[in-house]
Amino acid sequence: MSQFIVVNPSKCIGCGTCLLACSAAHKEVGRQTNPRLNLVQTKEVSATVTCHHCQGAPCALVCPVNAIKFDGDMVVVDEKCCISCKMCALVCPFGAIKLSGTSVAGVAGIQVETPTFPKGTSDIIAWEIGVYAAAVKCDLCSFSKDGPACVNSCLTGSVQVIDKSHHKKLLNDKRIKASVELEAIAKDTSEGRNVLETRSVLQGGKTLDNKNSSEDRSNQ
Amino acid sequence: MEKHMAVCPYCGAGCKLDLLVQNGKVVGVEPLNGITNEGELCLKGYYGFDFINDTNILVPRLLHPMIRRKKGQPLERVSWDEALDFTAKKLQEIIDKYGPESVMLTGSSRGPGNEANFVMQKFTRACIGNNNIDNCARTCHGPSVIGLMDAVGSGAMSVSIPNMENADVIMLFGYNPSASHPIVARRIVKAKEKGAKIIVCDPRYIETARIADLYLPLKNGSNLAMMNAFCNIAVNEGLIDKNFIDEHVSGFDEWWETIKNYTPESVQDITGIDPELARQAVRMFATADNSIIGWGMGVTQQVQGVMVVHTIAAFACILNQIGRDNAGLAPVRGQNNVQGSCDMGMWPSLYPGYQKVNDPAIRAKFAKAWNVPEEKLSLKEGFKLTDLPHAVREGKIKAFYNFGEDGLQTEPDSIDMKNVLESLEFYISQDIFMTQSTALADVVLPGSSWGEHDGVFSASDRTFQRFTAAVSPPGEARHDWEIFQDLSTRMGYPMHYNNTEEIWNEVRELCPNFYGATYERMEGLGYAQWPVPKVDEPGATTLYKGGQFNRPDKKALLIPHDFKKPTEEPDDQYPLILCTVREVGHYSCRSMTGNCQALSGLADEPGYITMHPDDAAIRGIQDQQLVWAFSRRGKVITRADVTERCNKGTVYMTYQWWIGKCNDLTMHQTDPLSGTPEDKFSACQVEAIADQVCAENHMQDLYAKLKKRLADEAAPQNVALKSDPSMVAA
């Protein structure tokens, strides 16, 4: 059984509060601060994308030094062991693995960054002089009793953690909805009504409330 | 760990929070269950606190008073006594030589709070003797204040922020809440979940457009044509409420003479909106039980800003979508206390509480309360903030007292603004940071920061809330109201307040609509929404209930206007429209958020210029590349953000960046009715840069030099004070 974080795009306002919450929570426990969620904004979608703690995690499979392992239901990276080979970042199907190091520039506004590459460069190959970067990804804030910081900080409730209880409830809701719909269609067709017509009536009706339909989208 | 209750110092949403203090330092923030934020905060609320601790990420805090004995000399640290004596003497000389009208002041709509602003305007009016006091609403929601006072009588939101989520229809017109007020965007998401329909009218495909039921991508600069067409449709389709108009609205027939010409077909070339789509939007808004229209800078920072506000008010009034809890007007204010600055009379035509300066009876009341002869208080309206450039050039303004604003960052055509500030005879800046504007001042007075003083803020929906000090001001920094009262005392008009509550009680006595908002009532999570004339009565969540407008005849007034094109249209040389917008993780001139570790880590110089993929492609520009942006006024380096959310032909720059500074490109053209600059429309061009690595280093070099220059300007404050003033004079 795994657990992971998802976002409901119809609630996401693209404000980035989750990114900073992630960064701050990890900074507090001495881990790397590059946000472990990625905010994606296309014309249709605003959402954050992060690690799904895949059971067949390709990142764990390719890691040559066993820095990525399963810990119960989570896939974890040992930032101290990482050799920064970036294989995990290349194979992750969600683009969820990033590199993060501690920059020496910008401290107290004295030192100046001296970029050696354009900012559009992929952060997998971008390399800052003097910075040893480790692979970082979502660890579900397992160090905190409060759970994932991104979920707690989201002001619209868009970022959610899918864990055991939530998952079961979500599936049950879907099954209830499906059964109501199927029963209704069966009943109506026996009375000679058009299936499509029935469907459109149902979709405009009370059986599909907004909350459920938006959760469906997030889970696809 | 100590906890100190405060109100977020960023946008106008008025979010309550606790500041966490350890060993005399603010170390964190916890949300509180305030009336507007319900236990939520956005990124600025959570991570926008550490600037208080003088992080030196962007610019240093001001810790000691400094003066420049002569123009061109470096700043020199002096004692408070010497700084205030020097300031009082110089101001008095200018008043004696050129008259009191030659001094201009601007209030601060940010951290200081209502009390400090009240004392500043009292100093302006009762001590200096003019009405030359304004605030940044001038460059922001000034047209909403003016336009709504003309049309419905009060220049504020008629609905409350919490009630927005219970509307049946929300129309957003030139307003992007996800970037400006995430906590308000949350209410819109909630409204949608409760079944509300959302209509978005915006040239850009903003976040809310994604969840909108109708999206109207009107062309930049076509607002008045669009609003006139909306009104035209409402009347022609018989959607208006005739009974409501007969009883509560005046000027309909005359207004219609103009509006009848604006069919959606006749303006389709101007707006770019399919007439049928416009009709659908109007029907949706008109036929819902309760509709709210929200607008922002997209309406106000245009040359016809006030006129569009008049027309928005007219639209709500003819449809009777106003005066109910979930129906009305929502101009949501940008800065945390810009509503408060207006409430406190930081306005050249208004005393505190929206009482007119040219009304002799009002003047008599204030003269009596402030113990000055009536002649001392001027009946003449003062200069507007945007009058500063030409009034200085014409020799009418000789001295300027800046309180917590950074005009070189936030006002249009900043290159010209620099010349203006440099040509002043005497320039005082009271701030918490060595900003670009403060660096030019002859006197630098260190005020206290949010988190270091008590006070009351006015949230955007007229909600007064208290905030408290968490730590002491650093160095010799003093509370702003103490600085004003000491200066006033030195200039012959003594003021002696002991705390902010004493000041607030004077505000209450002088402003009937604020009288019920006592400190006691606003303890903890308490609040009071004006008008609140009585201590034992609740405030007003909603204005204009029962169609009772705050105008002399209690009726709303319809004011018609014809559409006019924007001032500077694109041409071959400058083919793109430049529109300035806001950064979600930064605030105003960025002196506060730019000094916050997490926020500056998320977004830093040179910011972005957002452009459509086609506009980028023909210029050979790729996403994230550094580019040149230039106009007739200036040229800056910025970074391309190539996205389909941007409409073709227009580029958008956020105004928070000091290197990628959009206001080097904008034009000082203002709405004649409000003096608000046309920041949303000017012509520019964007050019690719071949050597990106070189460009990245150039940008970092510019940034480092700017930070060093400002740190150097502030450095004299760290020199120990010479004990003998006569030595210094020699």
Q: Tokens for A199, please give them.
A: 């469907």
- Same domain for B444 and B521, yes or no, is yes
For range B126-148, the mean pLDDT: 93
Give B305-365 as a DSSP string.
Answer: HHHHHHHHHHHHHHTT--SBTTBEEEE--SSTTHHHHHHTT-BTTEETTTEETT-HHHHHH
Alpha-carbon distances, residue A217 vs A8, A45, A212 (angstroms): 7, 11, 9
CATH of the domain at B323: 3.40.228.10
Closest Cα in chain B, distance from residue A61 (Å): 32
- Same domain for B524 and B482, yes or no, is yes
Across the interface, do B193 and A214 touch by the CB < 8 Å criterion? Answer: yes
Across the interface, do B645 and A41 touch by the CB < 8 Å criterion? Answer: yes
Q: Is residue B567 part of a domain?
A: no
Reported confidence tier of residue A189, pLDDT bands at 50, 70, 90: low
- Same domain for B491 and B627, yes or no, is no
Q: Is residue B427 part of a domain?
A: yes
Q: Is residue B102 part of a domain?
A: yes
What region does B554 belong to: left with phi over 0, alpha with psi -120 to 50, or beta? left
For range B308-314, the mean pLDDT: 98
CATH of the domain at B614: 2.40.40.20
In chain A, what is the greatest distance between 2 CA atoms, to the nearest angstrom? 79
Q: With contacts defined as CB-CB under 8 Å, which chain A residues touch B193?
A: 11, 210-211, 214
pLDDT surpasses 50 at A66: yes
Q: Is some CB atom of chain B closer than 8 A to the CB atom of A24?
A: yes
Task: Go through B567-591 and write b for each residue having 16 or more CB atoms within 10 A of its CB, e for each that does not.
Answer: ebebeeebebbbbbbbbbbbbbbbb
Q: Which of A13, A118, A210 comes nearest B693 by C-beta?
A: A118
pLDDT of residue A184: 61
Three-class DSSP category at B627: strand
pLDDT surpasses 60 at A207: no
> Which of A7, A11, A12, A17 is the best mutation test for B, with the most CBs of B within 10 A?
A17
pLDDT surpasses 50 at A211: no
Q: Distance from CA of residue B677 to its chain's centroid?
A: 12
Q: With contacts defined as CB-CB under 8 Å, which chain B residues touch A44?
A: 210
Closest Cα in chain A, distance from residue B42 (Å): 6
Q: With contacts defined as CB-CB under 8 Å, which chain A residues touch B645?
A: 41, 43
Nearest alpha carbon to residue B112 among B472, B480, B522: B480
pLDDT surpasses 50 at A216: no
What number of other Cβ atoms are within 10 A of residue B536's Cβ?
Answer: 6
Q: What CA–CA distance (Å, rounded) separates B496 from B612?
A: 57
Q: What CA–CA distance (Å, rounded) separates A17 from A29?
A: 19
Q: Distance from CA of residue A170 to its chain's centroid?
A: 18
Cα torsion B207, B211, B215, B221 to 10°: value is: -20
For range B568-593, the mean pLDDT: 95
User: Looking at the 3D structure of chain B, how many domains does it have?
Assistant: 4
**Domain ranges, residue B468:** 66-140+337-545
pLDDT of residue A167: 66
pLDDT of residue A130: 77
For range A164-184, the mean pLDDT: 74
Three-class DSSP category at B666: coil
Q: Is residue B632 part of a domain?
A: yes
Q: Is residue B730 part of a domain?
A: no
- Same domain for B211 and B184, yes or no, is yes
Alpha-carbon distances, residue B397 vs B97, B326, B350, B387, B406 (angstroms): 12, 45, 20, 9, 18
- Same domain for B595 and B613, yes or no, is yes
User: Which sign does the torsion angle of CA A87, A88, A91, A96 carry?
Assistant: negative
Across the interface, do B700 and A113 touch by the CB < 8 Å criterion? Answer: yes
- Same domain for B136 and B178, yes or no, is no
Q: With contacts defined as CB-CB under 8 Å, which chain A residues touch B601?
A: 23, 33
- Same domain for B484 and B591, yes or no, is no
- Same domain for B214 and B269, yes or no, is yes
Q: Is some CB atom of chain B closer than 8 A to the CB atom of A115?
A: yes
pLDDT surpasses 60 at B101: yes
**Per-chain mean pLDDT for chain A:** 81
Listed by number, the residues of chain A in 163-202 with a beta carbon closer than 8 Å to a beta carbon of chain B are none
- Same domain for B322 and B364, yes or no, is no
Three-class DSSP category at A212: helix
For range B277-296, the mean pLDDT: 98
Reported confidence tier of residue A218, pLDDT bands at 50, 70, 90: very low
User: Which sign does the torsion angle of CA B719, B721, B723, B729 carry?
Assistant: positive
The amino acid at residue B128 is I
Q: What CA–CA distance (Å, rounded) separates B674 from B629?
A: 29
User: Which sign does the torsion angle of CA B506, B511, B516, B520 carry?
Assistant: negative
Q: Which of B43, B56, B644 comes nearest A15 by C-beta?
A: B43
- Same domain for B635 and B581, yes or no, is yes
pLDDT surpasses 50 at A205: no
- β-strand B291-295 against B169-173: which pairing, if any? parallel
The amino acid at residue A129 is I
Q: Is residue B59 part of a domain?
A: no
The structural domains of chain A, with segments of one domain joined by +, span 4-162, 166-219
Closest Cα in chain A, distance from residue B589 (Å): 18
- Same domain for B358 and B495, yes or no, is yes
Contact in structure between B604 and B55 (CB atoms under 8 Å): no
Across the interface, do A119 and B626 touch by the CB < 8 Å criterion? Answer: yes
Give B469-505 as a DSSP string.
Answer: --SPPSTT-B-HHHHHHHHHHHTT------SHHHHHH
pLDDT of residue A213: 40
pLDDT of residue A212: 41
Alpha-carbon distances, residue B700 vs A4, B210, B660 (angstroms): 38, 36, 11
- Same domain for B418 and B479, yes or no, is yes
Reported confidence tier of residue B728, pLDDT bands at 50, 70, 90: very low
Q: With contacts defined as CB-CB under 8 Å, which chain B residues touch A36?
A: none
User: Which sign does the torsion angle of CA B135, B139, B143, B144 carry?
Assistant: negative
Listed by number, the residues of chain A in 93-112 with a beta carbon closer than 8 Å to a beta carbon of chain B are 106, 108-109, 112
CATH of the domain at B72: 3.40.50.740
| Residues A100-127 pLDDT 10s | 888 776 555 456 778 888 888 887 888 7
Q: Is residue B202 part of a domain?
A: yes
**pLDDT, greater one: B8 or A109:** B8
Nearest alpha carbon to residue B433 among B468, B402, B411: B402
Closest Cα in chain B, distance from residue A189 (Å): 30
Q: Is residue B570 part of a domain?
A: no
Alpha-carbon distances, residue B228 vs A57, B97, B260 (angstroms): 58, 50, 9
Which DSSP category does B449 fall into?
Answer: P
CATH of the domain at B26: 2.20.25.90
Give A8-65 as a DSSP string.
Answer: -TTT-----HHHHHHHHHHHHTT---S-SSEEEE-SS-EEEE-----TT-HHHHH-TT
Q: What CA–CA distance (Å, rounded) separates B283 from B266?
A: 19
| Residues B500-518 pLDDT 10s | 999 999 999 999 999 999 9
pLDDT surpasses 70 at A204: no
In chain B, what is the greatest distance between 2 CA atoms, to the nearest angstrom? 81
